Amino acid sequence: MALGSANGNRAEGATTPLMSWKNNLRALLVDASSTCRIIGKAYLTSYGVETEAVENGEAAFDLIYMGASFNVIIIDMHMREMNGAQCARRLRTMGVQSRLLGMSTSYREHEQHEFLAAGGNGFIQKPLHPSKFVPILQELDNN
Amino acid sequence: MARKDLNQELNELICSFQDQGILDDYFDELKGLQDEESPQFVTNTITTYLGGADNTIAELTTNLSEPAVDYSMVTYLADKLKGSSLSVGGSRMANVCAELCDASEANDREACLARFEVVNREFLTLQESLSKIVQLEQAIYDDKE
């Protein structure tokens, strides 16, 4: 079985992920938009990543409190109740060590600084696309 | 109508919308996520988008009609609509939402109202286009069953 490699051929009717990994990768997507959650989860799942998607930071915290763990948490930078930096800060305070990525269609410099200062690790642009998330997943899988 | 004809009609319709700039190439990515296990993925996603966008536009209408506009809320809503529109390949819709964001961040009521009018018009176009896609997708699905 090819590890961390792309298999662009999906047999009709098959549920074989487009990529396979050494490790069981798990992702959490935190996004206020139900459309973005559906598409983001479908994309990550199709690439073999076990993915949860929640609407806001509080729902993410609840999952963590219940014992869920993730290799990567992708956080919408602009949510109604809290922004990406606030969410990241709280996750780090809770002891979460996952890779934290801020996601947005566009960024202000101060938002990026705040997110990184809050414990975030980097950024990924919306809408999600394999060209953006596969390199990150490969890095996580190799660590 | 035979399934092959319906698929061809759907592909031609999508290409037409892409040629007009209503949809961009990302819509092809969305279609690529549909498979035997999720045969109605496109229909379900579009339906979710249209419902969410309707609600967001209603909230924007309410906010922008307030005597004192909550610009941070307008920015949030416009940004949310921008992101979801991009996710279904509606880049033209996303661009007009971005312009509304800019107007809101400048706390410019006049500009917000003008840009919001454009958002509404663009949404009607996108909604009509996506609805046609859903109709064909559903016909293809029903033909298979």
Alpha helix stretches (DSSP H) within chain B:
3-19, 26-32, 41-64, 71-87, 91-105, 109-144
User: Which of A28, A24, A25 has the alpha carbon at shortest distance from A60?
Assistant: A28
Q: Which structure tokens are listed for A29?
A: 């997507």
d(CA A126, CA B80): 11
Nearest residue in chain B measured CA to CA from A127: B87
Q: What is the pLDDT of residues B14-66, one digit of tens each?
A: 999 999 999 999 999 999 999 988 999 999 999 999 999 999 999 999 999 99
Q: How confident is the model at residue A15 (pLDDT cuts 50, 70, 90)?
A: low
Alpha-carbon gap: B86 to the closest alpha carbon of chain A (Å): 6
Q: pLDDT tens digits for B96-135?
A: 999 999 999 999 999 999 999 999 999 999 999 999 999 9
> Per-residue pLDDT tens for A76-98?
999 989 999 999 999 999 999 99
Min distance A120 CA to chain B CA atoms (Å):
21
Picking from A39, A49, A56 by the largest number of B CB atoms within 10 A of its own CB, the best residue to mutate is A39
Distance between CA atoms of residues B137 and B140, nearest Å: 5
Q: Domain B3-144 - what CATH class?
A: mainly alpha
Q: Does A9 touch chain B (CB under 8 A)?
A: no
* Chain center to CA of A9: 24
Tokens of residue B64, six digits: 């922008």
Partners of B84 on chain A (C-beta within 8 Å) are 33, 35-36
pLDDT value for A14: 44
Report percent pLDDT > 90 for chain B: 93
**This prediction's pTM:** 0.90
Q: Which helix (H) or strand (E) holds A9?
A: none
Identify whether the C-beta of residue A57 lies closer than 8 Å to the C-beta of residue A81: yes
- Do B86 and A46 make contact, defined as CB atoms within 8 angstroms? no
Q: Counting one residue from A and one from B, how many pairs have CB atoms under 8 Å apart?
A: 64
Q: How many CB atoms lie within 10 A of CB B47?
A: 15
**Is the minimum CB–CB distance between B49 and chain A shorter than 8 Å?**
yes
Q: Is the pLDDT of residue A11 over 80?
A: no
CA A42, CA A52: separation in Å to the nearest integer? 10
With contacts defined as CB-CB under 8 Å, which chain B residues touch A80? 76
Domain ranges of chain B: 3-144
Buried b (16+ CB within 10 A) or exposed e, A39-49: bbbbbbbbbbb
**Other Cβ atoms closer than 10 A to B4:** 10
Q: Closest by alpha carbon to B141, among B13, B50, B42?
A: B42
Amino acid at A87: C
For residue A41, give Cα distances in angstroms to A5, A120, B30, B101.
20, 21, 12, 27
Contact B83 A13 (CB under 8 A): no
Tell me the shortest Cα–Cα distance from A115 to chain B, in angstroms.
17
Strand order across the beta sheet in which A50-54 lies: A50-54, A26-30, A72-76, A99-104, A122-125
Q: Name the band, by pLDDT with cuts 50, 70 and 90, for residue A4.
A: very low
Residue from the list B44, B52, B94 with its beta carbon closest to the beta carbon of A33: B52
Chain A interface, mutation test: which of B34, B35, B97, B101, most A Cβ atoms within 10 Å? B35
| pLDDT at residue A5 greater than cutoff 60 | no
pLDDT at A6 over 60: no
Q: What pLDDT does residue B143 have?
A: 87
DSSP state, residue A119: T
What confidence category does residue B3 fall into, taking pLDDT thresholds of 50, 70 and 90? low
